[in-house]
Structure 1
């Protein structure tokens, strides 16, 4: 067996780093560091400029805490200062990776050319590029980046778990923090449908809570003693997996007894948050718990029985603990079949929208066609006709109807944004576009482009059809949709840069209330009928009533777009509908259409703010799904 055939897989986590070396014949070997399979990710920058890694860093933390960095895997934008000296976090992560590379070379006998790095599924292009730079600085070959839940799913299939094509699974990864992902198996790989992360829902938070409990009676004096206490708590927590109670030495020289009761008390709120995160992720993937083929728990905290209880009671799912949960992701990345499939990217299949989503796409599209059809059909020609124009030829047009047709065409395209994204990803060679965040972002931008193109097409065709200058048509077709376009582009930027999946999923976010579309469209159709119908004496009253009803309906449609609670709708609908009904006329039809366009833009802005920027119930996963831990992790507690 040539050494060059070996594969090196590394999972560089916030709290600890694991790595395995594997060969094509199925043999694999975990790399050992100081006699253990997990290397603490912490580093210590010594005064002479050397970087100590692993347990050596934790040992030095007690005497030199100012130079200790427990979690060097920082955000690319974050600045790091050690002992008043600016430090590049890339150098610190590279030190850990360099030690892993050296151990792999010692085991294999030569440099390993095939390297795979496990990364969180929620990481965007910037963090992935940052990790590649760290590997390059460590002297590693160009690595393949494999998403952690995809690696876990690939390992499950390789281990014989029956997951048929088209099935959905949840990977609940609870290490230093928590990341929950919903995956769907395609014909040649797994696709991440939704992923949510919370850095405060893992082993780090549990260790901090335990340390705070044990430290009440005899508080630690200084950062050095705090790091020593966290190290002891991390070791004790692991030992409680096989014991009822363990003795924890305190930095002051005394000792306390830590039992399973205290551990469960500290872990309960943390693991309850993991269960909530699981429920939110399933909802974001737009499936139900009954659709799942399995829920699989991995990570250093997965062994805790309380996690299974929390998931069963809160998320209403029955989890399965994967054997050797702390290393399953890195083993999956090292697996030949799983890694190769992940490296080239799973095939992206275009989803078939369910009936509810199909209706949300079809209703504004058909409404737009109905309005533009009536717009052409009911135009009133003066001083000639469309073909034989006389002197001072002009046409009486309902500009508001053109504006609403353009708005509804854009809304129909945006409702199909996730489908458009999947269609583009099928033919894209770029792996970033094949990610869920990339698909959503590209899909929204494609929908905006298509919607603007349709609105422009309406204007161009109308100008040519009526043989009039194009300027007025373009103004009424494009200006009303401009605020909506800006809001949609803002959503696309959020999806691309930080991948914040809103509650209910992206398809729900991109869909304007169907009731508002139907009501406003019916109102404008009735208004145009009342303005253009032949006013025979016995029909005048009914034609006028139809126009007032149209104004009422259009006002109600505006309110339905602005607010959701029924009470607020009732309060606002009465005055606004009456005003709209009172001003129905040729001149006011354009104003009413602009009101509706503004209402839709406000609806988009409110959704962007309440569901993405500032969710109604703020959670760490929604605020920053791939944020680094806010507290410093212990050496082995996070897994």
Structure 2
């Protein structure tokens, strides 16, 4: 992706997040006060200055009458703050300005390409109001992106399978709740229905939990902040002590949180059903239900939607940043910053070729091996010498084809066997890779057994030649599955892009090894000797080129490394050498996987 640095800001009712992305695909969340999640609150000083973020909450503890917790909810209004008339636009602009300033410090200068995330239910007046706030903040004329559309783009870039014509529901639970039903069309996602309720989100849960802990006593903004922090901490702990403003403390438990959250999240489930009905659909028509927003992490959110719709929602990989990721055109990577999908999702035709080409190449090579076996001797001392290299290459291509279909296999598993493991993208991808590894290894073993039976030879050597070359590839793929399941990292462009092995390499190497085998086994008529030998040399050359195409991406470097390697592989072409050539290529495929895992999952790029 080319162009300038891009900044996406998701300004919500209670919190604001932003993502900064570079043309080369790197990204980083914009941290304000050391935290990627900045409160949207504002505090108005006596000189009409505006404090934002954590500074506003700290000031509210001393002078709560100057504090505005959610300026967005006063859109197009003028507020009276301690006798001063303050436009809500001014308060929102202060937060946007501060985010932009921190983004400029990270980017090394002002960011011109700015996208603002807005609710799908906002009409022209509110959208114009947000543009005015952005203009007052010095952001120029930002591009507005509807939150559920941005989330859907984020999901597709993450590897979610959503064919054209598919329906999905995005449930955004932040300070309030917004449920949107979308359809994927040929040119993108379109909103079919959207319903919102400001009292069906995290703010309502905070109020209910505060009441459950301290009764009807008014504790002020400091007490609200303590309750909110306790709610977030209960995601990792079963109980936590919450200090009160009078110096005492109460104990908040997960049971108390569940009781406080249940009626609020039940409303979210009801809102989901109403939105689906408003789109003139049924829950069975949906490809999936996806949860985003800070409150989406509460387990009860998914439970209540399941009770209402019968569907098992999936929580986005990073629900708080999901909309900002989609708006900036960046795919999610490692939490805390890292590579991002500045790359586009793998095109559908390219994905099909990535599966079909190695699959057909595998079948053709195993067939060629069975039909071109070198035989000799007389009964009962007959002997046969298979082309072991063709068996090894067929096994490698079979594993490549299966891994290229890994995300599809994961989606099929999630659709037919929904459960806790497949509720998240990480679980679906992990299952898909494990399924692909199992299928690829089973296919390679099947080749070995069938060939041994066909040639009436011991199966041991066939299994060794089929499984040894793919063992490093299988091991590296299993590492990717573990990373997906445990570390919850998603590579740039999504998992489909990471698993897509270069088709050009497969095609070139398959033709090359096929020509080498033809040269070794063809009838050597005197008038054809030159052409048969030439075919073998060209085959060796092509296999060397295919090896370089797998290992190196820049074309200049491919030319520099490809020429000598192609000459070497062409020079060593001879009978009984196919095994060596296959070993070279299998090593290159393993090297491709090592480089892929290191650059896209392990190494986090530095911010310029």
- Superposition TM-score, scaled by structure 1 size: 0.51
Between the aligned partners of 1:122 and 1:160, the Cα distance in structure 2 is 27
Aligned to 1:140: 139
Q: Write out per-residue CA displacement over residues 183-202 of structure 1, whole angstroms, 9 at most, x where no aligned residue.
A: 00011200000000000000
Can you list the C-alpha shifts for 1:168-224, whole angstroms capped at 9, x where unaligned?
00000000000000000011200000000000000000000111122228x33xxxx
Q: Distance in 2 between matches of 1:121 and 1:75?
A: 18
Please give the secondary structure, in 1, of the residue aligned with 2:190: strand
Name the counterpart of 1:239: 233
Q: Which of 305, 311, 320 is the equivalent residue of 1:311?
A: 305
Equivalent pair of 1:169/1:182 in contact (CA under 8 Å):
yes
- Contact 1:114/1:141 (CA < 8 Å) preserved in 2? no
Cα distance in structure 2, aligned partners of 1:24 and 1:197: 35
Contact 1:179 1:197 in 2 (8 A): yes
CA distance in 2, matches of 1:157, 1:82: 44
Name the counterpart of 1:487. none
Q: CA RMSD in A?
A: 2.1
Distance 1:99 1:148 in 2: 21
Kept in 2, the 8 Å contact 1:173–1:180? The answer is yes
Map residues 23-38 of structure 1 onto 2, 5 A cutoff. 23-38=22-37
Counterpart-to-counterpart distance in 2, 1:77 and 1:127: 7
Is the counterpart of residue 180 in structure 1 residue 174 in structure 2? no
Alignment check: 8 A CA contact 1:75 1:127 kept: no
Q: How does 1:58-73 map to 2 (within 5 A)?
A: 58-73=57-72
Q: Cα offset for 1:23?
A: 1.6
Give 1:150-299 correspondences, 5 Å limit: 150-216=149-215, 219-220=217-218, 225-299=219-293
Report the Cα distance in structure 2 between the residues aligned to 1:15 and 1:75, rounded to whole angstroms.
12
Residues in 2 aligned to 1:179 and 1:258: alpha-carbon distance in whole angstroms: 28
How far is the alpha carbon of 1:52 from its aligned partner? 0.6
Mapping for residues 20-169 of structure 1, pairs under 5 Å: 20-169=19-168
Deviation at 1:77, TM superposition (A): 4.1
Alignment map for 1:496-535 (pairs within 5 Å): none
Measured in 2, the distance between the counterparts of 1:201 and 1:37 equals: 24
Contact 1:173/1:298, CA 8 A, preserved across alignment: yes
Q: Would the aligned equivalents of 1:149 and 1:329 in 2 still touch at CA under 8 Å?
A: yes
**SS of the residue aligned with 2:194?**
strand
Contact 1:9 1:115 (C-alpha < 8 Å) held by counterparts: yes
**Partner SS, residue 139 of structure 1:** coil
Q: Structure 1: how far apart are the matches of 2:76 and 2:7?
A: 29
Q: Deviations over 1:58-106 (max 9, x none)?
A: 0111111111011111444433111122111111100000101100110
Distance in 1, Cα, partners of 2:75 & 2:199: 20
SS at match of 1:302: helix
Indicate conservation of the 8 Å contact 1:66/1:82, yes or no: yes
CA contact (8 A) 2:76 2:126 kept: no
What's the counterpart of residue 331 of structure 1? 325
1:93–1:134 Cα contact (<8 Å) kept: yes
Deviation track 1:116-159 (CA, whole Å, cap 9, x = no partner) reads 00000000000000000000000012100000000000000001
Distance in 2 (CA, whole Å) between partners of 1:79 and 1:52 is 18
Shift of 1:7: 0.1
SS of residue matched to 2:297: coil
Contact 2:154 2:331 in 1 (8 A): no
Q: Tell me, what secondary structure is at the counterpart of 2:235?
A: coil
The structural deviation recorded for 1:288 is 1.0
Moved more, 165-174 or 72-81: 72-81
5+ unaligned residues in a row in structure 1: which ranges? 341-639
Matches within 5 A, 1:488-503: none
Q: Distance in 2 between matches of 1:240 and 1:100?
A: 28
On the 8 A contact 2:242/2:252 being kept in 1, the answer is yes
> Where do 1:448-597 residues align within 5 Å?
none
Once residues 60 and 316 of structure 2 are traced to their aligned partners in structure 1, the CA distance between those partners, rounded to angstroms, is 34
Task: Specify the alignment match of 2:412 in structure 1.
Answer: none
| Cα distance between partner residues in 2 of 1:132 and 1:82 | 24
Structure 2 Cα separation of the partners of residues 76 and 328 of structure 1: 24
SS in 2 for 1:73: helix
Distance 2:118 2:297 in 1: 22
CA–CA distance in structure 2, aligned partners of residues 214 and 74 of structure 1:
26
**Equivalences for residues 282-431 of structure 1 within 5 A:** 282-335=276-329
State the distance in 2 between where 1:82 and 1:337 align: 41
Superposition deviation, residue 24 in structure 1? 2.5
So what's the TM-score if we normalise by structure 2? 0.54
1:34 is paired with a residue of what secondary structure?
Answer: coil
Distance (Å, rounded) in 2 between the aligned partners of 1:136 and 1:46 = 22
Structure 1 moving runs of 4+ over 2 Å: 74-79, 336-340
Task: Provide the residue aligned with 1:610 in structure 2.
Answer: none
Contact kept in structure 1, 2:76 and 2:89, CA below 8 Å: no
**Whole-angstrom CA distance in 1 between matches of 2:152 and 2:76:** 31
SS of equivalent to 1:269: helix
Question: Which whole-Å deviations, capped at 9, do the CAs of 1:216-236 have from their partners, x for residues lacking one?
Answer: 28x33xxxx411111001111
Give the deviation of 1:315 after TM superposition: 2.2
In structure 2, what is the equivalent of residue 568 of structure 1?
Answer: none
Cα distance in 1 for partners of 2:330, 2:19 equals 13
Distance, in Å, in 1 between the alignment partners of 2:166 and 2:68 is 42
The answer for the alignment partner of 2:460 in structure 1 is: none
Query: Aligned with 1:62: secondary structure?
Result: helix
Shift of the alpha carbon at 1:5?
A: 1.3
